Structure 1
Amino acid sequence: MDLTYTAAEEEFRSELRSWLQSNIPDAWSAPGFWDALPDDESFGLRRDWERDKALAGFAGIQWPTEFGGRGGTPGMKAIYDVEMVLANAPRTVNPLGLTFLAPTVMAIGTEQQKRDIIGPMLRNEVIWCQGFSEPGAGSDLAALSTKGVRDGDDFVVNGQKVWTTNAVHGDKIFTMVRTTPGSEKHRGISMLLIDMHQPGVDARPLKQMSGASEFGEVFFDDARVAAADCLGAIDEGWRTAMLLLSFERGASGIGQYTEFRRQYDTVVDVARKLGRDADPVVRGKLAKVLTDLECLRYHAMHVQTQVEQGRDLGFEASMTKLIWSEPSQDLWEVFDLILGEDATLDEIDGVDLRPLHGQAMWSRSVTIWGGSSQVQRNVTAERVLGLPR
């Protein structure tokens, strides 16, 4: 395992850090700044900032230069993830497109799809969302019922998707549709790329308990999409989806460690300010979380080393999901324990808790989305450890 970076990577760190310091207003780092903005205003501000970052050459760090990327190393991508957290940079508005869709298009897209999708996505000219989950198909995606019926050179799509991130801001959606009538399970499914601004597509927000509307549901009512806008082969969407999801790996754990360690320090600071840091139960639970976070750090460096050596990690991504999601959730459970019966208050003894409550509520979801902990344990047992089913 290599815990060092090359001279070129450290030079990139310095360049990126300097740009971030010059291009993130101090007001953006003030507690509650982003929470106080209306959703549309927050999204627009982040969209413009991220476009400027891409134009400055700080996007698509590992993407090939032919696609507008920087052509950087896995180490540079890890540095990018860390420095974005340390600078309190705004969250990306195009996470699913950049993380999943773009590398899939690079791998199997047609030349026309590569030209039409990758550049505009990198510059945030087109926001992509992902249409996988349905009311009756969550963890069991193969149970999806949204249908696409062939009509000449088009598919006519009818059905519903739910828990769609950025649904109300999305320009296009990559979605799984059953394109062979009567097919079952993984067969007869295609991944279609659908314009969300056309007639027959209706995106509605879903309000979360935090008050945010990050998710939405999407209804298709005779929406049309050209058969040429199928990513991968028609009726081979399951294969395309597995390729797409495989890109959630690499050095992402390093940025997550940095973010969670900062959250940990914040929770410890709250415990001290409230005089609850001497409780042996609290101290024991905080110690366990810290130990788990340090395990995440070393696991992430191990994964990065393997990626740099050209190894295809495959199902080891399930291990990474477990190693970061469960300690994150444990941390915010300790936060609730520290607050006790005061957990519903916005402020205690002059300590503003509002920015932390949203993170605590969000943490309840992290062991569910992206594959639940139960699913990840099964995958790890069967595909990594070779245990029988």
Structure 2
Amino acid sequence: MDLSFTPAEEEFRRELRAWLGAHIPQEWTRPGFWESVPDDEGFAMRREWEREKALAGFAGIQWPTEYGGRGGTPGMKAIYDEEMVLAHAPRTVNPLGLTFLAPTVMAIGTESQKKEIIGPLLRNEVIWCQGFSEPGAGSDLAALSTRGVRDGDDFVVNGQKVWTTYAVHGDKIFTLVRTQPGSERHRGISMLLIDMHQPGVDARPLKQMSGASEFGEVFFTDARVPASDCLGPIDDGWRTAMRLLSFERGASGTSQYTEFRRQYDEIVEVARTLGRDRDPVVRDRLARVLTELECLRYHAMHVLTQTEQGRDLGFEASMTKLQWSETFQDLWEVFDEVLGDDATLETIDGIDLRALHGQAMWSRSVTIWGGSSQVQRTITAERVLGLPR
């Protein structure tokens, strides 16, 4: 495992840090700022800022230059993830497209799809959503029932998707649809790329308990999709989806560690403000979480080293997803314990808790989406450790 970066990578860090320092307004870094901005206004601000960042050459860090990327190393991508967190940079408005769709299109997309999707996505000209979960198909994704019936050169799609991130802001959606009549489970599924601004596509917001409406549900009613807008082979979408999800589960964990460690320090400050840092039980819980965080850091560096050596992580990606999601959840359980009876307060002694409350509520979901912890443990046991079924 290599814990160092090359001189070229450190020079990239200095360049990126300088750009971020000059282009992130100070007020954006103030606790509670984004919670005080209306959802639509905040989305528009982040979209424009991210477009400017892409035009400055600080997007698609590890993407090939032919696709508008920087052609950087895995180490540069890890530095980018870390510096974005340290600078309190805004969250991306196109996470699903940038992290999952674009690498998949680069790997298996047609030349036309590469040209039409990757550049506009990088510059935030097109916001992409992911349509996987359905009311009756969550962790058991193979139970999906949204159908596409072939009609000439098109598929006519009917069905519903739910928990779709940025559904109300999305321009297009990559979604799993059952396109082979009579098929069941993993067979007969296609990944279709659907224009969300056409008739027959209705996106509705879902308000979360935090008050945000980041998610939505999408209804398809006789929506028409050209058969050429299928990513990967028709009726072989399950294989395409598994390839796409490997990018979600296989990140090194560098950005997660950096963000979680900053949040840990904020939770410790709250504990000190409330005098809970003197409670031996709380101190023990904080120490345990800090240990987990440092284990995550070393695992992230291990994965980064493997990636730099050109190794395909394969099913080991499940280990990364399992580790960071469980660590994140443990971190925010400690936060709830620190607050105790003050858990409903928005501020304590001048500390704005709104962002922390939002993260605490969000933490409950991370062991479900992207493959539940139960699924990841099964994959790790069977396909990494070689244990019997």
Which TM-score applies when normalising by structure 1? 0.99
Q: Any residues of structure 2 matched to 1:274-289 within 5 Å, and which?
A: 274-289=274-289
Checking the alignment, whether the CA contact within 8 Å between 1:78 and 1:251 is kept in structure 2 is no
Unaligned runs of 5+ in 1: none
Residue equivalent to 2:298: 298
Whether contact under 8 Å (2:32, 2:353) holds in the other structure is no
- 1:192 is aligned to 192
1:167 correspondence with 2:170: no
AA matched with 2:41:
E
Q: Deviations over 1:351-383 (max 9, x none)?
A: 332221111111111111111111111111111
2:317 — aligned with what? 317
Aligned pair in 2 of structure 1 residues 249, 182: CA closer, same or farther (>3 Å)? closer
Q: CA RMSD in A?
A: 0.9
- The residue correspondences of 1:153-164 to structure 2 (distance < 5 A) are 153-164=153-164
- Could you say which residue in structure 1 is the equivalent of 2:208? 208
Structure 2 matches for 1:135-150, cutoff 5 A? 135-150=135-150
Contact 2:32 2:352 in 1 (8 A): no
CA distance in 2, matches of 1:349, 1:12: 40
Q: State the 1:194 CA deviation.
A: 0.3
Residue 33 of structure 1, CA deviation = 1.0
| 1:273 to partner: Cα distance | 1.0
Matched, 1:14 2:27: no
Letter of the structure 2 residue corresponding to residue 334 of structure 1? V
How far has the Cα of 1:250 moved from its partner? 5.1
Within the alignment, does 1:354 sit opposite 2:354 as a pair? Answer: yes
Aligned to 2:330: 330
Q: Contact 1:130 / 1:165 at 8 angstroms: preserved in 2?
A: yes
Q: Structure 2 CA distance, aligned partners of 1:350 and 1:102?
A: 42
| 1:63 CA displacement | 0.3
CA distance in 1, matches of 2:346, 2:54: 37
- CA positional deviation for 1:40: 0.7
State whether structure 2 residue 373 is matched by structure 1 residue 373. yes
Aligned counterpart, 1:61: 61
* Matched letter for residue 66 of structure 2: E
Shift of 1:248: 2.4
- The aligned counterpart of 1:259 is 259
Q: Does 1:176 align with 2:176?
A: yes
Q: For residue 56 of structure 1, what is the amino acid of its counterpart?
A: A
Deviation, 1:184, is: 0.4
State the alpha-carbon separation in 2 of the partners of residues 69 and 192 from structure 1: 25
Change (3 A) 1:360 1:249: closer
Q: Is the 8 A contact 1:159 1:220 kept in 2?
A: yes
Matches within 5 A, 1:45-194: 45-194=45-194
**Which deviates more, 127-136 or 369-378?**
369-378
AA aligned to 1:55 is L
TM-score normalised by length of structure 2: 0.99
How much does 1:249 deviate? Answer: 5.0
Separation (CA, whole Å) in 1 of partners of 2:249 and 2:57: 23
**In structure 2, distance between residues paired with 1:248 and 1:361:** 21
| Cα distance in 1 for residues equivalent to 2:87 and 2:283 | 29
Residue matched to 1:268: 268
Residue range with higher mean Cα deviation, 302-311 or 251-260: 251-260
CA contact (8 A) 1:264 1:331 kept: yes
Q: Give the AA of the match of 1:118.
A: I
Q: How far has the Cα of 1:349 moved from its partner?
A: 3.3
Distance 1:133 1:301, change over 3 A: same
Paired amino acid for 1:376: Q
| 3-state SS in 1 of match to 2:181 | coil
**Does the aligned pair in 2 maintain the 1:250–1:307 contact within 8 Å?**
no
Residue number in structure 1 paired with 2:219? 219
* CA distance in structure 1 between the partners assigned to 2:57 and 2:347 by the alignment: 41
Q: Distance in 2 between matches of 1:109 and 1:220?
A: 24
Count of matched residue pairs? 389
Is the contact between residue 105 and residue 113 of structure 1 (CA under 8 Å) also seen in structure 2? yes
8 Å CA contact retained: 1:251, 1:301: no
Q: Which runs of 4+ in 1 moved over 6 A?
A: none
How far apart are residue 46 of structure 1 and its match? 0.4
| Contact 2:35–2:354, Cα closer than 8 Å, also in 1 | no
Partner SS state of residue 72, structure 2: coil
Question: What pairs with 1:33-48 in structure 2 (closer than 5 Å)?
Answer: 33-48=33-48
Give distance in 2, aligned partners of 1:256 and 1:72: 20
Deviates more, 1:347-356 or 1:367-376: 347-356
User: Equivalents in 2 of 1:136, 1:308: separation in Å?
Assistant: 40
CA deviations 1:318-344 (Å, max 9, x no partner) are 111111111211111111111111111
CA distance in structure 1 between the partners assigned to 2:355 and 2:166 by the alignment: 21
Q: CA deviation at 1:251?
A: 4.9
Which amino acid in structure 1 is aligned with residue 370 of structure 2?
G
The whole-number CA distance in structure 1 between the counterparts of 2:169 and 2:210 is: 19
Sequence identity, in percent? 84
Distance 2:9 2:349 in 1: 44
Q: Provide Cα deviations, 1:266-294, integer angstroms capped at 9, x if missing partner.
A: 10111011111011110111111000000
Query: Which residue of structure 1 aligns with residue 385 of structure 2?
Result: 385
Distance 2:299 2:145 in 1: 38
**CA distance in 1 between partners of 2:180 and 2:375 (Å):** 28
Question: Do the aligned residues in 1 keep the contact of 2:248 with 2:370 (CA within 8 Å)?
Answer: no
